[in-house]
Structure 1
Amino acid sequence: MKTRFFISVLFMLSANAFSQVKAPAAKPTVLEGMLAPDRNDSIHITLYRETFGRKKVNAESLSAKVHNGKFKFRIKGLDKIAYLQLPGTLFKESFLVEPGDSVFIQVSTGGLRFSGRNALKYECSYLTDSLLRKMIASKKPVFITAAKIAKDVMSGLASTRVDSAYNLQMQMLQKYKASMSQAAFDVLKNDYYGSNKNAKIMRFLLRWWPEAFRLPDSIERKKKLIAFYKAQIADDTIHTSWSSKAVSEEYVDYILQRKLIEDLIRRNGRSAKVLLPLIQQLQEEYQHAPDLFREKLLTSFLIYYPRTNQDYAGCAEFGLKKVRNDSYRALITHFKNSYETLKPAYPFSFKDTAGNTVTLNDFKGKVLLLDFWFEGCSPCKMLTQRMKPVLDSFKDSAKVVFVNVYVDKDRDTWLRALKGGEYTDPSSLSLYTNGLGIGDPFLKFYNLTGCPKLILINGKGEVVSVTPPMPDGSAEVRDKLIDLIRRTIS
């Protein structure tokens, strides 16, 4: 009896002792490096704690001072894998960053060198991209960039070019597998796989799809569609965890693009007018997947498709019924609210070319059409030309103001682009986000993830449409926009 009592007391004392031992604090996530020794300014990086397909929202812009070429970032509150974008002058692709990473980047004319904890993961991504770029330069069968894809696709190149890029990516990933966590390995594997599939979808949409529309026999067109879909898109052979698939931007994007192809096949090439049936099908197709992946997919759908959607409110309500994750629900609610019309517009505060502050209140009583653009955006150039008849229709009206808003950060680039006259019309008012770029509150509220984008606001400061008709060269769409503006005036 005494023995059992002694053991019980000892057990309780031991348990109490263990309960008082604090769990070790998570290692900080640190990114530091060395630039040119004479550099003394600041450096910026962008952190994406969550991605939804290739649509990145809630970007965090982090800055650090550079002293004698040295810089250091300490990323707070990182509790899972995220995507990190270094400045374009250093590297144009994203890195995977994990809690506890402590990496030193040496920047030189010869490229980047990485050292520190988990540095080989960064080296893998950097060297893989460098090799792909060299293959492009040597005209070997590979392409990876969107511009290169479009060029190669229209030239009729075989999809083996895409596969050769994928094979190289997977070989490099396998080589570095032992140097990174299993979670990071799986996410990169999903990214490379999804990128391969998305490139084939891009090739299909740019080259084969216009050709299919010229076929007189719709049955023959559909046969070709189905054959391509089965051979290149439908077969999902990647074997990784659902959690890693949920993190991967490219894999989630592939699933969404695949759903688009399926809908095109079902509609014999005609785009859907409403998208509620699509999100319902997506929910049903992945109803047996873990909540983490299914809810991420539904949320990504609602972020991906709103531009062309005529029933976004209904889709958002469906999403809110199916998604339980609090942060995802908050995001869906935000998108739903930002697409509601005849509600007060989110207030903006931009700068004009003279440096004066321009706000929404400055346009009381006037109809306002905002046009967002950036230098290098080819569709933005095309829209400027196509908007000319629209601007001419209201050139004598004091009730309509056309405003173009530059969404990048660099003011000098903005002013230089304005002088070129390719992106804006002289009769419109030119504004700038004063260095905030996509971090500007107005742009974040309306989820500006691509350009060009139009937003129409009435004289009461209410949003009339965040997806007004965007002139595409046809008289029909142009006249729809003109009619909408006229109705907004009245």
Structure 2
Amino acid sequence: MKPLLIFLFILFSIKIQAQNVFIRGKIMNPVSQTVEIMIFPYAQKSIFETLLLNEKNEFEFKTTLTDIAYVTLTFDKNRPISQGGRLQWYILEPNDTISMTFDAKYFWKTMRYTGNAAPKFEYYKEDLITTNLQKDWETTAKTKLTKSKTDFYQYLVEIERLKLKLLEKYKSKVTTQFYTICKADIKSDISTKTVRAVYQEAQKRKIDVTPELIPAAFRAALTSMAPPQDSITAKSMGYPFTLMYLFMLNHPTQGVEFGDRNAYLKANKSKFHPAFAETLSSELLEEEIAYKGSNEEVVKQVIAFEKEYPNSRFLARIKNRLIEKEAFLPGKPAFAFTLPDTAGRNVQLADFKGKIVYLDFWASWCGPCLAEMKPSLKIKEHFKGHDEIVFLYISTDKNEADWKKAIAKHQITGLHVRDNQNVSKAFGVSGIPSTFIIDRYGNFQTIQPPKPTQNNGNDLIKVLESALTK
């Protein structure tokens, strides 16, 4: 009996030691009895859980990390970050412990942290209060851009310096890895605004995207590739792609359109640190899987990735995504749903059994989505009189007024319903526009068929005509 007890004790001890990250909290005046946690570990499967508050309004979460992860804790879905709805994209490291107490009515004023990870969370709190609550820097930057390009870029430089100065205060209190990744995250925040502004100006003026679009006084600061590429900065959630866009800006490749990440990486892989090249390749591949599903072309890409990176930590996650997407293969049943149309009447996918359904996930704020609407008129005109084809648009707009206004403004003909977030999630929609063709029997026919803008719409017409014959 004694050996058995010793064995059980050892097993219990191993289990306890395996859980190396602890998150605890106590909420005064909670608005909900649940807390949602999302953890995105580097090169591992993501974690999503709903935590229940106990009778003392406390919550606890334990997990195991082998590397850094980003965590989001949501306390009130109806409030933005600035009003205390959640903590978003905070870095966790193995062996981190954090306890927090706060009053939900006075979130940021009452938030207190303890535990060895407290300095990290304090850094995020000070950065948010200083740059978001006091300066509202993103809104301010957007306003400046509409008035003065020079003021906009100058402001971005000032905000970047402020953020780096705040981080420097915590350098001695956090790990080198945390400090380095945070610097990369800051660069990503600022560069995202820079690249978007440059791209939009180039589009408006119908010219090439070049660094010269940034005023000379701020060009060096905003296009610098610092911190440098290495195995640590590769773990930043946004920095690998940020660096890629900066390379596109500083070192364009002839024949590769700005923003074409797959083509740019293929032509310029030698420019990237091995850890960056692997991270970028894996993330682009996951996007392909999310967008195109588990088709023959994607499977070949997965095989090629495994051949190039046989020991990659990303392989397990990539293969898991591939398995998940098998549910979208042609002939597999499409997911049933019921959603309200513009008049509030319920529309079901089952209503269209016996017909071909062209399903389009879009939103009023999505430029690429709207760019496809006018060209789609040719497709609809081609099939005019064919009541066997239904063009069904599922909007992901949260605001009903914006949705209806966009339909009228862009004259989007077809049937319209608005998502409750569950349908797009069921269909694995990770980005929009996202389209599907459902056959007469309610099964998937094609995932991400050709866009209306592709080959003047002729490619999509062929796919729909083929669906009609089956």
Q: Equivalent residue for 1:195?
A: 189
Partners of 2:146 and 2:458 lie apart in 1 by 33
Partners of 1:189 and 1:36 lie apart in 2 by 35
Q: SS in structure 1 opposite 2:149? A: coil
Kept after mapping to 2: 8 A contact 1:47/1:85: yes
Q: Equivalent residue for 1:237?
A: 226
Kept after mapping to 2: 8 A contact 1:40/1:68: no
**Structure 1 residue runs without a partner (length 5+):** 1-18, 52-56, 138-142, 215-220
* Residues 213 and 431 of structure 1, relative CA distance in 2, 3 Å threshold: closer
Kept after mapping to 1: 8 A contact 2:22/2:98: yes
* Residues 151 and 427 of structure 1, relative CA distance in 2, 3 Å threshold: farther
Q: How does 1:479-490 map to 2 (within 5 A)?
A: 481-482=460-461, 484-490=463-469
**CA-CA distance at 1:258 after TM superposition:** 3.1
Q: Equivalent residue for 1:85?
A: 72
Pick one of 249, 265, 274 that aligns with 1:279.
265
**CA-CA distance at 1:74 after TM superposition:** 0.7
Instruction: Please state if 1:466 is matched with 2:448.
Output: yes
Instruction: Please state if 1:94 is matched with 2:81.
Output: no
Partners of 1:209 and 1:332 lie apart in 2 by 34
Kept after mapping to 1: 8 A contact 2:51/2:60: yes
**Mean Cα deviation higher: 167-176 or 40-49:** 40-49
Q: SS in structure 2 opposite 1:144? A: helix
One-letter amino acid of the counterpart of residue 454, structure 1: T
Q: How does 1:384-463 map to 2 (within 5 A)?
A: 394=383, 396-405=385-394, 416=400, 420=404, 422=406, 427-428=414-415, 430=417, 432=419, 436=422, 440-443=425-428, 448-459=429-440, 461-463=443-445
Q: Equivalent residue for 2:4?
A: none
**CA-CA distance at 1:78 after TM superposition:** 3.3
Two-structure CA RMSD over aligned residues (Å): 4.7
**CA-CA distance at 1:48 after TM superposition:** 1.9
Partners of 1:441 and 1:61 lie apart in 2 by 16
Pick one of 165, 178, 183 that aligns with 1:171.
165
What are the Cα deviations for residues 123-168 of structure 1, in whole angstroms up to 9, with x where unaligned? 211221232225645xxxxx436x9549727852352221111111
Kept after mapping to 1: 8 A contact 2:353/2:440: yes
**CA-CA distance at 1:325 after TM superposition:** 4.2
Partners of 2:23 and 2:459 lie apart in 1 by 52
Kept after mapping to 1: 8 A contact 2:45/2:317: no
**CA-CA distance at 1:180 after TM superposition:** 2.4
**CA-CA distance at 1:84 after TM superposition:** 1.8
**CA-CA distance at 1:247 after TM superposition:** 1.5
**CA-CA distance at 1:252 after TM superposition:** 1.1
**Mean Cα deviation higher: 119-128 or 72-81:** 72-81
TM-score under structure 1 length normalisation: 0.69
Q: How many equivalent pairs are there? A: 431
Q: How does 1:103-142 map to 2 (within 5 A)?
A: 103-112=99-108, 113-117=111-115, 118-134=117-133, 136-137=135-136
Partners of 1:261 and 1:335 lie apart in 2 by 32
Partners of 2:433 and 2:32 lie apart in 1 by 35
* Residues 193 and 327 of structure 1, relative CA distance in 2, 3 Å threshold: same
Instruction: Please state if 1:255 is matched with 2:246.
Output: no
* Residues 357 and 101 of structure 1, relative CA distance in 2, 3 Å threshold: farther
Partners of 2:372 and 2:51 lie apart in 1 by 37
Q: SS in structure 2 opposite 1:449? A: coil
Q: Equivalent residue for 1:6?
A: none
Q: Equivalent residue for 1:180?
A: 174
Identity rate of aligned residues, in percent?
A: 16
One-letter amino acid of the counterpart of residue 279, structure 1: L
One-letter amino acid of the counterpart of residue 299, structure 1: S
Q: Equivalent residue for 2:255?
A: 267
**CA-CA distance at 1:101 after TM superposition:** 2.3
Q: Equivalent residue for 1:3?
A: none
One-letter amino acid of the counterpart of residue 386, structure 2: S
Q: SS in structure 2 opposite 1:249? A: coil
Kept after mapping to 1: 8 A contact 2:359/2:394: yes
**Structure 2 residue runs without a partner (length 5+):** 1-9, 80-84
